[in-house]
Structures are given as C-alpha cells and as structure tokens.
Amino acid sequence: MSSAEDNANDPGPRPTRLTAAAALAALEGLALVVAGGYLLVEGIFGSPDSAEQAVTGGVTMMVLAALPLIAARGLLKLRSWSRGPVLVTQILALPVAWQLLQANSLLIPGGIVLAVVAITTLVLLLNPESTKALGIGPRDTA
C-alpha cells in the first residue's frame, strides 16, 4: 500500500472521551463478572433459596459481561461496530438503575452509580468527536 492509502485508513488519535467511554464500559463488564462470580459461588457453596437459580444467574451474568468487555476493546481500537453494543448496554442499564433506586435499601447507591455511569457513557459516545473518531456519520461525496 502507498503512504496515501495508509493515511486514509489511519483514524488518527483516539479522543479522550472515547477512552473514557471504553473504560466505563469495561468497568460495567467487570462488575457483571464480579456479580456473576458471587452468585455462582453462592449457588455452589452457600445456602441460597434456590441453588439452581443462583448458578444459572451467575453464569448468565458472566456470559453477558462479554458484550461490554469486547465492545470496550473495540472502542479502544476505534472500531465503529463497537459503539452499538455499548449504546445498547447503557440503554438497558437505565431501567435496571431505576429498579435499584426503587428498592428502599442499600441497593439505592448502586442504582445511583449505575445511572450516572450509563448516562455519562451515553453522552461520551454520542459526542461528535467520538462519532467522528469511529468513522460514524455522514460521508463526504466529493
């Protein structure tokens, strides 16, 4: 390839906003791994109401953690496909945060944190600088 083709394929430096969005998505993925691992261990070694439900929930959460973790890696590598899964994850996190806020217990701080992380990540991903870095948006016809 010529140097002109290399420059055309080079997306340039990664914006700080995109790096922050990737970090928040990865943090959510890691939180899902930890919560899933806790449920799994509790289901196997603890005394939950239903061991089968605890194990199934733990495995499910750990599998679901793959989506934000893989998408966060894609954001760091400036892959345009990665924005969609992260956006969907944040949109799905908002009703979960709302339910945690309605709990009247120690889950309320978790709901606040989840809501702040989801909204912040959405704002960071929808920022024009981020969409441009990912190559999303109108194409030049010239």
Q: CA–CA separation, 85 vs 67, rounded Å?
A: 7
Dump pLDDT digits (tens) for 15-52: 999 999 999 999 999 999 999 999 999 889 988 888 89
**CA 78 from centroid of its chain's CA atoms:** 15
Q: CA–CA separation, 29 vs 70, rounded Å?
A: 9
pTM confidence score? 0.84
Mean pLDDT of the chain: 88
As a three-state string, the secondary structure of 117-130 is: HHHHHHHHHHCHHH
